[in-house]
């Protein structure tokens, strides 16, 4: 990832932020090559970028409730509530829930949880 991050930063600095290039993507332990614009790649993979969930959770307003659902077969499960959920300001309607699923299956496994959670919001 370090090479791809450096490549994206270099292309952006050279004014080539709108040009597609190939970068490394590591997701769920699998590495593959993706084609993306450097700015888009950095927005997702830069440790200080806008897609970093713990950072975003910490910046939420206390007035915003947060639902985090993680599959028990997702490597993220081992992080528990500490990685994202605990970093958000406390809100009485926020909820952390595990479901019996892997990363890809979590949205389907969480459907009822999400619907019930949304219906319970004020």
User: What average pLDDT score do residues 9-26 get?
Assistant: 94
Question: What's the confidence (pLDDT) of residue 8?
Answer: 96
pLDDT at residue 1 greater than cutoff 90:
no
Overall size of the chain counted in residues: 122
SS3 55: helix
Give the H or E element holding residue 76. none
Say if pTM beats, i.e. exceeds, 0.75: yes
Instruction: Name the nearest CA neighbour of 8 among 32, 48, 43.
Output: 43
* CB-count exposure of residue 45 (10 Å: 0-12, 13-18, 19+): buried
Overall average pLDDT of the 41-56 stretch: 89
DSSP per-residue string spanning 83-119: TTGGGSPP-TT-EEEEESS-TTTHHHHTHHHHHHHHH
Average pLDDT of span 104-114: 97
Residue 47 has what pLDDT?
Answer: 85
- Greatest distance between any 2 Cα atoms in the chain: 49
């Amino acid at each position: 990832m370090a090479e791809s991050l450096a490549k994206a930063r270099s292309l952006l600095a050279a004014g080539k932020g709108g040009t597609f290039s190939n970068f490394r993507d590591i997701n769920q332990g699998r590495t593959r090559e993706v084609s993306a614009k450097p700015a888009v790649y950095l927005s997702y993979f830069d440790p200080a970028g806008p897609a970093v969930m713990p950072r975003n959770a910490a910046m939420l307003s206390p007035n915003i409730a947060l639902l985090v659902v993680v599959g028990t077969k997702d490597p993220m499960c081992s992080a528990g509530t500490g990685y994202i959920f605990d970093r958000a300001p406390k809100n009485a309607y926020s909820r952390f829930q595990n479901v019996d699923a892997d990363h890809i299956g979590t949205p389907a496994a969480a459907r009822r949880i999400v619907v019930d959670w949304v219906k319970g919001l004020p």
